[in-house]
């Protein structure tokens, strides 16, 4: 029997995405504790990925908040065409390279900061949550744009709200949301630690990854 290969491929992709969406929903149910977990935040790890026509580079930076300096950096270059970004499924594209650089770190840290959303996601489980879940570390998402919800002003900052649910905090430009294994109060601590702004550690990870791909 003749089978249309294009139709078969599209069907397989659709099934895979439906499966992954269900996985996101399942992880969301166990990812966000009500009780506080972060006793202190002295070191953070920031991760990011940059792309070029020939490949990509992932960077991880362990950063001492008190000293405002990097403790360790790891950058990995990946040659070859990267998969296309599918809205709502960023982990499928950036998860593997980010897990690769995290596995090579030797320094400990208190929380992982990911350039992307955590709980502030249509399925309440973005790349920040999944990366923390798979790596087994506390994590938080820090994004530059809203994926879902609206901002409402509260004193000196904003809260991200979706259908009455509080999912994140913002300075008006940067969106912080829970990743894996932290409470909303823990998120407030992280947000306050960086004044709600985009953290320097993520800027460093971005610069390192871009520097590598610009050379290739």
* Within-domain flag for 58: yes
Over the stretch 85-103, which tens digit does the pLDDT of each residue have?
Answer: 899 999 999 999 999 999 9
Identify the band that residue 1 occupies on the pLDDT scale cut at 50, 70 and 90.
very low
* Within-domain flag for 7: no
* Within-domain flag for 54: yes
Q: Are 141 and 178 in contact (CB under 8 A)?
A: yes
Q: What's the CATH number where 192 sits?
A: 3.30.2170.10
- Tell me the H-state helices in the chain: 5-31, 90-102, 127-135, 184-193, 200-214
User: Whole domain around residue 124: which residue ranges?
Assistant: 43-214
* Within-domain flag for 32: no
Give the percent of the chain with pLDDT over 70.
95
Under 8 Å CB-to-CB from 130, ≥6 apart: which residues? 24, 27, 91, 95, 180
Q: Are 127 and 114 in contact (CB under 8 A)?
A: yes
Answer yes or no: is pLDDT of 187 > 80: yes
**Nearest-angstrom CA–CA distance, 13 and 19:** 10
* Within-domain flag for 62: yes
pLDDT (0 to 100) of residue 5: 43
Identify the band that residue 117 occupies on the pLDDT scale cut at 50, 70 and 90.
very high
Domain count, the chain: 1
β-bridge pairing 165-170 and 175-178: antiparallel
């Amino acid at each position: 029997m003749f089978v249309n290969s294009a139709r078969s491929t599209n069907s397989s992709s659709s099934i895979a995405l439906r499966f992954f969406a269900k996985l996101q929903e399942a992880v969301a149910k166990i990812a966000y504790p009500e009780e506080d977990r972060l006793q202190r935040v002295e070191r953070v790890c920031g991760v990011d990925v940059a792309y070029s026509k020939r490949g990509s580079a992932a960077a991880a930076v362990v950063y001492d908040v008190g000293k405002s300096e990097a403790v360790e950096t790891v950058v990995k270059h990946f040659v070859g065409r990267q998969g296309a970004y599918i809205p709502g499924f960023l982990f499928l594209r950036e998860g593997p390279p980010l897990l690769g650089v995290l596995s090579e770190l030797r320094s400990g840290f208190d929380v992982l900061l990911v350039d992307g959303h955590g709980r502030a996601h249509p399925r309440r489980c973005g790349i920040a949550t999944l990366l923390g879940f798979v790596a087994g570390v506390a994590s938080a998402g820090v994004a530059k744009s809203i994926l879902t919800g609206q901002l409402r002003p509260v004193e000196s900052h904003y809260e991200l709200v979706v259908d009455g649910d509080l999912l994140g905090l913002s300075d008006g430009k940067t969106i912080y949301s829970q990743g894996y294994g932290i409470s909303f109060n823990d998120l407030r601590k992280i947000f306050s630690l960086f004044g709600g702004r985009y953290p320097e550690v993520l800027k460093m990870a971005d610069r390192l990854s871009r520097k590598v791909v610009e050379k290739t």
